Chains A and B, each alone.
Chain A
């Protein structure tokens, strides 16, 4: 009796797994609806005429392309997209490369003053940007770069505290034995970093790149402060200028605001959808480690 009961408990393990998987799928679908909602609302609203933007229907009652036409006609979108892409790609590449190097330095080595320096790194995230904005602006002004695209990406050459911290956490989570074996084999610090640490941290690197891409692509504050000539505008900066042009006194053209929002967001979403599959490949048992 007892034996058969325990055997009976063992057997349904497989169906139970399948049920569990189904439950996970259903739960995720339900939750994701709440997350997809704002974007669906946005896309739907962008196809509505002015008077219906806020009618809260998922399917537009009156379907119109006019908002896209207005945005396209009023704005040199191609130029703005090119500027944005230029800045975003440079910023993303720089910040990912440099932050990885710096994080490796903090994670793998012990050296005098390391903890103090790391503390400074954390500290640099704690002062609100509102007060450092003007001093930083003064530096770029002194370097004669105000009005150019440089201030929008060049600071990323030096890495960013946020990503250094993130990647350092990842590197420190990697088993040290892996590196020691390689060190015995006579691998240099650089080889350790490139051959072992980098491949193992690929998900974190993808996360870093995606975050920075999204942040720079949608950033409004820096372009607003640094750019003057509409030829240098990024998409968010240009769209702000365009939206401000329609009337005054709070007469927002929400149908154009939402359309502009879609135009800005879609490239990032598509890119993320492509990039995210690289997060899948992580460490499989023993694979690539030994």
Chain B
């Protein structure tokens, strides 16, 4: 029995082993993109999830633009294990929808193709898209993704708490760090059983890039090759943001109170008066408007130390995997999804839906500069005297003053390095300067290795 079993097992093994491959044959060069030639066939899209009215309207538009293409969606957000499994077989999906900060990793490994020919052939003007977003999807001399949606931070504050302390939203918008520190001291409140009101939440670890940039420093050089984590300005930014927590009894106390609040509900920190101010992403304005429309709120942009508006951009992007079976249809699809007219139709649908619910339309940040301007112009009402109008204005201002981390082949490792450093400081395991110096070594090593490997390919 063993004698008959073993050979068959060996056979099975060798059969299976024969099929392991990467994306071996890369003959993307002879793919021809042309806006005038019809596209047909099947188009398998992975990672596109937004089936709300904005997603659906645009999907319909894409269907109309290419009637002969059979679009199938692998529903759900792009899961990296799912995508990588597909890539490992050499038969990836035809188009993916990913986070912009994943593009550098995918591009440097050759998992997605440069879009130069696609952009040229279909006549997509990449100059129409927000520059920091394009920087996130550009690698080497090529663009690898077409960006959409922009998430930006604005200052959100509790107007009542500010007024009681004799403060103004300008004191907590980041333009004057001494003022922020002083406001935090005034606003936070401690009772017998611990912290009861968070004065200011500097939102570490996620917002270190924002504080660093506000202090004039980039975490990473524009070419994505040199880390600046131990730059004195970065260290100073971290020291400042951490001191905000220390003033209130440490990060543990702040996080415990923050987590105990009902973030998405009517018991959120602003409605319950347990938070003075924080910088946060604009989408939260919609939540606040939904669940606590009467909360005493005040909004402004987040500002750098010179008083200029500033925001750290993130969002999604379309990219075509290397080995896509139908790149022409993929290109036409992404062109339609991100076209100005498509966005306008989507904004119309959203504005209608909001009006039906009796709620204000708080804008839509598309990454398409032209679409942003027209949507703001046509659908957004900023004239009413309400805090929500202030929020919308702040959001659009922030949208025009964004920065981003450039794409690089080690973006996940780079991010992990600085986040680890911040977490170690927050957990009281290291001082800011020490943690960032160590992170600098780790990050630079990862970058050097990844760039060297990229150069070899």
Do the two chains bind? yes
B85 at the interface (CB under 8 A from A): yes
Contact of A138 with B88 at beta-carbon distance under 8 Å, contacts A224-B76, A244-B49, A247-B52 already known: yes
Q: Is the CB of B91 within 8 A of A141?
A: yes
Nearest Cβ distance between residue A144 and chain B, in whole angstroms?
Answer: 11
Q: Is the CB of A51 within 8 A of B266?
A: yes
B149 at the interface (CB under 8 A from A): yes
List B contacts of A52 (CB < 8 A): 262, 265-266
List B contacts of A51 (CB < 8 A): 262, 264-267, 290-292
List B contacts of A254 (CB < 8 A): 264
Q: Is the CB of A53 within 8 A of B265?
A: yes
Q: How many A-B residue pairs have CB under 8 A?
A: 100
A9 at the interface (CB under 8 A from B): no
Nearest Cβ distance between residue B4 and chain A, in whole angstroms?
Answer: 15
A248 at the interface (CB under 8 A from B): yes
Interface size on A, as a range, is 35 or more
A242-265 contacts to B (CB < 8 Å):
242, 244-249, 251-252, 254
List B contacts of A221 (CB < 8 A): 81
Q: How far is the CA of A69 from the CA of B443 in the complex (A)?
A: 48
List A contacts of B81 (CB < 8 A): 133, 221, 224-225
Majority secondary structure, A binding face: helix
Binary CB contact string for chain A from 130 to 150 against chain B (1 if under 8 A, 0 otherwise):
000111011101100010000
Taking a contact as CB atoms closer than 8 A, the residue among B55, B73, B82, B291 that contacts A225 in the complex is B82
Contact of A245 with B88 at beta-carbon distance under 8 Å, contacts A51-B264, A55-B262, A135-B20 already known: no
List B contacts of A138 (CB < 8 A): 16, 19-20, 88-89
Binary CB contact string for chain A from 46 to 65 against chain B (1 if under 8 A, 0 otherwise):
00001111110000000000
Q: How far is the CA of A240 from the CA of B82 in the complex (A)?
A: 13
Taking a contact as CB atoms closer than 8 A, the residue among B74, B77, B88 that contacts A134 in the complex is B88
Q: Is the CB of B75 within 8 A of A54?
A: no
Nearest Cβ distance between residue A225 and chain B, in whole angstroms?
Answer: 5
> What are the nearest 5 A-B pairs in CB distance?
A241-B75, A244-B49, A241-B76, A51-B265, A245-B51
> Which residues does B use to contact A, with CB under 8 Å?
2, 15-16, 19-20, 44, 49-52, 55, 72-77, 79, 81-82, 84-85, 88-89, 91, 149, 151, 262-267, 281, 283, 287, 290-292, 314, 316
Return 15 A-B CB contacts under 8 Å, by A number: A50-B264, A54-B262, A54-B264, A54-B265, A54-B267, A55-B262, A134-B88, A137-B85, A142-B19, A245-B49, A245-B50, A245-B75, A248-B149, A249-B283, A251-B287
